[in-house]
Amino acid sequence: MRVTFATALICLMLLAVQVCANEINVGDAQHNARGDARTDDTKAIDQAIKEINKRGGTLVFPEGDYVVNSLDFPNWVTLRFHNGARLNVTEGGVVNIHGQVDAGTYKVFGGEGAVKFRFRSDRIVYPQWWGAIADYFNEDGSVNPNAKDNTNAFQQALDSLPNTLRNG
């Protein structure tokens, strides 16, 4: 049996469509998460989570401030934050993340509520996701007297970790 180039190309295209089908942009009209820092986007994002089946998938957060109360992101859901996208958890709210987060070293979490990671110890959490900025030293190596106090961002990053990781 001979596989032609055209057959192989068609198979690759079908695979690409299947992979892309498991990527959901929460800001699309179908899901309607506003990201305007005022609207409660909890329901819209929860609907997007339900759309991703147990085969896995990625929720993409384009630039915006997504206000949420409490959400639970299963381990088969990856969260991808574009630079400028923030998940702002309201006071008293808790966002549980069992899967992975795909984001650079920029702020992606905010608000008065809590973000809790529920994963194994092989994942990485960055304090920059809560707004930490590495500005302690100037370019010439001298101490920057106007450096940002990153204590709160580091504490939030530590508090997000499962107890087993924080306590050794």
The pLDDT score that the predictor gives to residue 122 is 66
The pLDDT score that the predictor gives to residue 29 is 85
pTM above 0.85, yes or no: no
| Confidence class for position 162, pLDDT limits 50, 70, 90 | confident
The pLDDT score that the predictor gives to residue 120 is 67
The pLDDT score that the predictor gives to residue 121 is 63
- Mean pLDDT of all residues belonging to the chain: 86
For the sheet with 94-97, list strands across it.
71-73, 94-97, 114-117
Count of CB atoms situated within 10 Å of the CB of 3: 8
The pLDDT score that the predictor gives to residue 123 is 77
Give the model confidence (pLDDT) of 120-134 as tens digits.
Answer: 666 789 999 999 998
Give the model confidence (pLDDT) of 9-64 as tens digits.
Answer: 454 444 444 444 589 999 998 889 999 999 999 999 999 999 987 778 999 999 99
Residue 84 Ramachandran class (φ > 0 left, ψ -120 to 50 alpha, else beta): left
Q: Which of the pair, 90 or 30, is modelled with greater confidence?
A: 90
Give the model confidence (pLDDT) of 66-80 as tens digits.
Answer: 999 999 999 999 999
Rounded-to-integer distance, Cα 61 and Cα 75, Å: 17
